Amino acid sequence: MASRVSPIAKPGSLLKAMREAKRPKRPKREMSPPHLALVRRLPCLSCDADPAGEAAHLRLGARGGTGLKPDDRWTVPLCHRCHMEQHDAGELVFWLRLRLDPIRIAIRLHAASPNIEAMRAIVFQQRELRK
């Protein structure tokens, strides 16, 4: 008869050890309420709504994953209707239809922040490019 290699574990001790295993910490999300407030004041990239009223977070190419909101730097202005359309259609399809590069726009908006006039000029320039 073979002998046991290790002693029998107490009931529940293996599960407890698994729960206590160290999980890698998620990097803290960069939040910028002032930047979001400025983005909400910009015109919608998709339609003529001015102000857009919503800052749409981009998940394309941004740090994060399913269920994780990206940093506030990755936002673009959309009105509520267009924002819902973006979620319904999917980001990639929505932005391909508009023929816009939202990541480049978000980078430019963040670089221009807090200059609201420069940010508005970026949005108007992008809207003209799609015509």
| Digit-coded pLDDT (tens) for 70-122 | 889 999 999 999 999 999 998 899 999 999 999 999 999 999 999 999 999 99
Count of structural domains, the chain = 1
Query: Is the pTM above the cut of 0.85?
Result: no
Q: Is residue 10 part of a domain?
A: no
Question: Is 110 inside a domain boundary?
Answer: yes
Range of the domain at 37: 30-129
| Tokens at 44, concatenated | 């919608």
pLDDT confidence band for 27 (50 / 70 / 90): confident
Q: What is the mean pLDDT of residues 23-31?
A: 75
Strand partners, 57: 75
**21 is a domain residue:** no
- Work out the angle between the directed axes of helices 80-89 and 91-98 (0-180°, nearest 10): 120
Cβ atoms 123, 43 nearer than 8 A: yes
Please indicate, yes or no, if residue 3 is contained in any of the structural domains: no
Assess if residue 50 is contained within a domain: yes
Candidate ranges 27-31, 85-89, 126-130; pick with highest mean pLDDT = 85-89
